[in-house]
Amino acid sequence: MEYVILHRTPGRIRLCLNVPRFPAVDTEQVENHFHDLSGVAKVAFTPRTGSLLIRHDGLATTDAAILERVAAAPLPGSRRPRSRTELEQKKQIVLRSALLLVSRPLIPPQIRPFMAMYGAWPILKKGIVALHQRQMNVDLLDASAVGAALATRDFLTASIISFLLKLGEYLELWTRNYSRRLLSEMFHTADEWAWVSRDGVELRIPLTDVLTGDKVIVRTGSLIPVDGVVLEGEALVNQSSLTGEGLAVARRFGHSVYAGTAIEEGELLVQAERVGDQTRAARVVKIIEEAENLKSATQSRSEALAERIVPWSFLASGLLLALTGNPARAAAVLLVDFSCAIKLSTPLVIISSLAQAARHRVLIKGGKYLELFASVDAIILDKTGTLTEAAPQVAELAVFNGYKPEFVLRLAACVEEHFPHPVATAVVREAARQELRHDEEHSEVEYIVAHGIVTRINGKRVVIGSRHFVEDDEGITLDQASGYTQALAEQGKSPLYMAIGGQLAGIIAIHDPLRSESAAFISGLKQHGFRRILMVTGDNRETAATIAAELGINEFHAQALPDDKVEIVRALKNEGFTVAMVGDGINDSPALSHADVGISMKHGSDIARETCDVLLQEGTLEDILLARKISREAMALIDDNFRTIVSVNSTALLLSITGAMPPIYAATLHNLGTIMVGLRALAPLKKSATAQLSKRERFISQHQPLKTYAK
């Protein structure tokens, strides 16, 4: 498109576009053409003068991208009226139908049949399509019921049925859209970040600052934050969030990768092609689609039952006509059907409950997991980040073989900052508190899941991790630290070992304080019907026993590796338990995927958040109990609605068949019952939010000095 720059200052540019005066150009279409550009804050277009004003972040790259977009833009089309959404269209249909029904007494009797036919035509049309496709479904049954009312010249009944069916469709779509909006809003996060390479320097920047063309570094366990092409490296990428593939796929030079997919193993250098809200929106939409498509077993059974009832309704109507010769009584069987209410109420309960959970910032990724969580009777709790605070702290530092505390802490922070783990964050934070600079002097860093980190500095091999990793796998003697580590275990602290060149250099004692609500949470689990409560941890047995005793947990597994956690899940499932797993680390993701319901915290690793079935956005243990309560209430409401449907429709059907009630009243009773259970299904959306647990101040590190211990 041709343009002239009228005015240009840092962060602001005004252009004159060469657009036609007639027909008028669509303002919204022009403005939307620039909204997806990173750095653009505001766009204003005046079609009368062709003036385009854009405010942005002031970067030269953004300014250049705007001009490039203008030059490549096609000529805007003429202004078109905004098309109404499906919900707006259905609302208009319901209002029109209600108006016709209310104004019926004022309309001459000769015109009323035409009104009834006009209102019933959309329903009859669906029935004709179903008949043409040879499908005996609810659409055909609804059309038959309305058609029977029209055939018997019961135009009032036909109008009422048409109105109620349209209202039911509108209520279902409104609820679905409402829950979608809540789920979309709750997924906004402002603290995401990425590692990028600019001018040969590796930088950690907010995700919102990543630009098209940036070289983004993504390591094991992290989400890929952009859509782009691989420049260097090789990795196994879990794309289940986009493609549904259960197995990770290999990605190397030249392959495309997408935002929201997770690296299970390896490292990639990705050139960003699409960044920011554009990729975030795609991720949110995908999650919502999965949540809506993953039907619960109860919902699937209800819909299948509704479909199976349809032929029996036709059969019963035919038999009654043959026995009585009364078309009105035979039509009543079609007017009073069970399937309509069953198919309406159950999905509404599921979607409403998902939205209720979302309002409390608990993302349940589908009705399937809502139902499963209601029946869970065994729960496995990973200690770190679940029962303990999400921000562990460095409590002590011991050094050995002549190394200095500052050197050990500086080197540990330099290596640990590359990996998204609470313990790594604690080390980096402690180094920052002591104002220790840690420039990149080491070689490539390798992360070994559930064990530790390996790198090299000045030609010496550096390992950081668990005792099992350092002593058993690396063969490094730790006897000189046995007394110290025993004392740490008795205090409930966890040791992080560092060895350099085959010798123990230091032990960083990590204190992960228990959450203030952990003890009450364990008690609450027992009250909510969990028969087995297990704690798993990578800590040694002494530390695990101390914490389990403090919380009142009878079963625990210490020094648990990822495979051990999976085996614990399998063992419980083999015993007949429905199992939930709560964890937030990379090493928890296999167990999360094997459990019937996997639960993760917002602060957990990217791959854990992708693998889980329930995501706690606030990260409080109370939310697990809340999700349990919501799921159980949802299943109880479905059962209660089913009993109501059966009782109301059976009564209406019996009275109509015996002639004790005219078909019009039976149809009205049936449809009022349908709307009643539909409105009851919306009850979860009407419940007020519960008060959130207050969170303790986390400034312990500012008041407790770091102790050092040297030998």
Whether the CB-CB separation of 77 and 27 falls below 8 Å is answered with no
- In the structure encoding, which two tokens stand for residue 558, read together? 């210490």
* Catalytic residue ranges: 382
Tell which residue, 568, 386, 383, 406, has the closest CA to residue 494. Answer: 383
Whether the CB-CB separation of 50 and 17 falls below 8 Å is answered with yes
Q: CA 417, CA 407: separation in Å to the nearest integer?
A: 16
As beta bridge partners, residue 205 has 194
Whether the CB-CB separation of 547 and 383 falls below 8 Å is answered with yes
Beta strands across the sheet bearing 597-601: 362-364, 614-616, 597-601, 579-582, 378-382, 532-536, 555-557
Local structure of 271: helix, strand or coil: strand
Computed from CA positions of residues 311, 317, 320, 321, in that sequence, does the dihedral angle turn out positive or negative? negative
Local structure of 6: helix, strand or coil: strand
- How big is the CA angle at 299 (ends 296 and 301), to the nearest 5 degrees? 110
For 272-291, the DSSP string reads: EEE-THHHHHHHHHHHHHHH
Whether the CB-CB separation of 507 and 496 falls below 8 Å is answered with yes
Q: CA 259, CA 228: separation in Å to the nearest integer?
A: 8
As beta bridge partners, residue 265 has 236
Local structure of 650: helix, strand or coil: helix
Q: CA 341, CA 649: separation in Å to the nearest integer?
A: 9
Whether the CB-CB separation of 410 and 437 falls below 8 Å is answered with yes
Sequence-ordered list of residues with C-beta below 8 angstroms from that of 436, at least 6 positions apart, any chain: 406, 409, 410, 413
Q: How far is CA 225 from the centre of its chain?
A: 16
Q: CA 159, CA 98: separation in Å to the nearest integer?
A: 9
The bridge status of strand 193-198 relative to strand 249-251 is unpaired
The bridge status of strand 532-536 relative to strand 378-382 is parallel
As beta bridge partners, residue 638 has none
Q: How many CB atoms lie within 10 A of CB 108?
A: 6
- In the structure encoding, which two tokens stand for residue 566, read together? 């999976």
Cα torsion 349, 350, 356, 358 to 10°: value is -160
For 196-246, the DSSP string reads: EEETTEEEEEEGGG--TT-EEEEETT-B--SEEEEEEEEEEEE-HHHH--S
